[in-house]
Amino acid sequence: MNLILFGPPGAGKGTQADFLNKKYGFAKLSTGDMLRAAVAAGSPLGLQAKEIMAKGQLVSDDIMIGLIRARIQEPDCTKGFILDGFPRTVAQAEALDQMLMAEKKRLDHVIELQVNDSELTQRICGRFSCKKCTAGYHDTFKRPLKDGVCDECGSTEFSRREDDNASTVAKRLDAYHAQTAPLLPYYDKENVLISIDGMADIEIVTRQIEEIIGGAGKLAAN
């Protein structure tokens, strides 16, 4: 099962991809996570990406396509993968189609999480994550079971993303509407697009996704 979780910043792509990765073992391919790891490592890519991400703009297609081309060939992708944050431009989508053809893989579903802009800003501005295991939380919508302690690993250290402030969020939303939303008709034409209500509670969104992946999810979990 190969999926794209599609949607604007804060739509819940990472939250749902983490869940599907844990439950079904599909590889989570998050280009945002890859770039943040490069920034943390201080690599040449990280140094280049840091400034662009802080401005809420998109990193170049060449770099992003190269990252995914390498990642998609790793062994954990054979069971299936979930793309989170890629593709974000028509050029990236076209390159992905070519890569999949070369690898004899196909895209089963592009699942669009529909959420309105004011809700997105609220979600992003309340987000934080565990410094040790990266588990994601929210000040209001997803607090750790015990305040200040990560549910997953027990760590007490958390961090917030540098681009999670109101002014950068506005720019990220502009980039989404101008450069990424045009992919919706692209995938609609390929007959793989399914749009779901991303405004619902996290567990309800999960259930909608599990209904879409249906039997394939059950098979992968066994």
Q: Which residues bind Mg ion (CB under 5 A)?
A: 14
Q: Which C-beta is closer to Zn ion: that of 41 or that of 133? A: 133
Residue 79: active-site member: no
Beta carbons of 91 and 61 less than 8 angstroms apart: yes
Number of H helices and E strands in the chain, helices first, is 9, 8
Which segment (4-12, 16-24, 35-43, 126-134) binds Zn ion by CB under 5 A?
Answer: 126-134
Q: Which residues bind ligand AP5 (CB under 6 A)?
A: 7, 9-15, 31-32, 35, 52-53, 56-59, 64, 85-86, 88, 92, 123-124, 127, 136-138, 141-142, 172, 200-202, 205
Q: Which C-beta is closer to ligand AP5: that of 7 or that of 217? A: 7
Least Å distance between CB 222 and ligand AP5?
27
Alpha-carbon distance of 187 to 184, in angstroms, equals 5
Residue of 135, 129, 138, 80 lying closest to 109 (CA atoms): 80
By rule CB under 5 A, what string of x and - marks binding of each residue 132-151 to Zn ion?
xx-x--------------x-
Least Å distance between CB 128 and Zn ion?
11
Residue 161: active-site member: yes
Indicate the SS3 state at residue 68.
helix
Cis peptide before 8 (omega within 30 of 0): no
Residue of 166, 120, 132, 104 lying closest to 15 (CA atoms): 120
